[in-house]
Amino acid sequence: QLTQWPTASALLVSYCSISDDFVALADTILDNITHADSRLSKYAEGTVCPISFVKDVLYPYAVDALPATLDKQWDNPEFAVYRNAFPEDCVSDRSVFEAHFRDLVKRDVKASYLKALQGYLWKEGYKSGEIKAPLFPDVAERLLSWKDAGLRLVIYSSGSVPAQKLFFGYTDAQPADLTPLISGWFDTVNAGLKTEPGSYASILSNFADTKPEEWLFLSDNPNEVTAAIKAGMQSIPIVRPGNAPLPDDLSPTLQPIRDFNELKGLGSKH
């Protein structure tokens, strides 16, 4: 299968295994803010950055940033949208509000109003430079080279499209903004669940000039890899530090790669 990959005309990359966490960045935060037939699809968290990024960086950042934000913006109309979404007994007392926020984070509660406020705090952190998406060392160079080789790079994530654009817009790479490299953004809203073959068929329907077998899908989740293959794509799992181990019964035809440099020849002309 390695010999087939350089002929792939599209790369689809899976981006965010901790779906609930990254969906928090989603709809609330960015609403305010040639071999052209080559396509690559990716899944980001656990594929292009450490899977620990959300819980080790983003969660603590939001908790630490909250007091200063409350000092400056408690009565700000823009902040009031997020404040007033909290339970009624929290919105009139700052100390109660902050205590409730911290309790929800500690218990990892997936409340939509918590996720909205976390997204707002993270957005400010990205814009100020305090947060940068930590890419694995091979990622930016390889994405740039694949783009130069004519591949069309596409992202598919459990996190929303706005969250994806925020992540790729503020990385620790050079250049920091990698969004110009990406030709398509897909999530569970505009494509569907990542373990369903129909979701990949939905993505393919947006690229009528390509065939399913011209696509290569990369993900850290073997169930997603299997779904992409059922939709007619080529697909391979990627193993990164900190990821859950692949199952022992993984099909021998799905031998994983460990970084993008194993796909150096992708997009090369024959």
For the chain, domains (ranges, CATH) are: 5-49+133-263 (3.40.50.1000), 53-128 (1.10.720.60)
Cβ contacts of residue 249 below 8 Å, gap of 6+? none
- Of residues 4 and 137, more confidence is placed in 137
- The percentage of the chain sitting over the pLDDT mark of 70, rounded to a whole number, equals 82
Q: CB of 23 within 8 A of CB of 97?
A: no
pLDDT at 5 over 60: no
Dig out the tokens for 115 from the structure: 């996720």
pLDDT at 219 over 60: yes
Please report the pLDDT score of residue 20 as a whole number. 35
The pLDDT of 149-171, averaged and rounded, is 86
Dig out the tokens for 158 from the structure: 């459990």
Please report the pLDDT score of residue 65 as a whole number. 97
DSSP classification of residue 172 = S
pLDDT (tens digit per residue) in 168-204: 999 999 999 999 999 999 988 899 999 999 999 999 9
pLDDT at 22 over 60: no
pLDDT at 27 over 70: no
- Of residues 144 and 24, more confidence is placed in 144
The pLDDT of 260-268, averaged and rounded, is 79
Which is nearest to 72 in space by CA: 131, 124, 132? Answer: 124
Q: CB of 43 within 8 A of CB of 16?
A: yes
Q: Is 233 exposed, middle or buried (0-12, 13-18, 19+ CB in 10 A)?
A: buried
Identify which of 53-57, 69-73, 183-187 has the greatest average pLDDT.
69-73
Average pLDDT over the chain reads: 82
- Of residues 64 and 16, more confidence is placed in 64
pLDDT (tens digit per residue) in 81-118: 999 999 999 999 999 999 999 999 999 887 888 888 98
Q: CB of 25 within 8 A of CB of 54?
A: no
Give one word for 243, left, alpha or beta, with left for phi > 0 and alpha for psi -120 to 50.
beta
DSSP classification of residue 45 = B
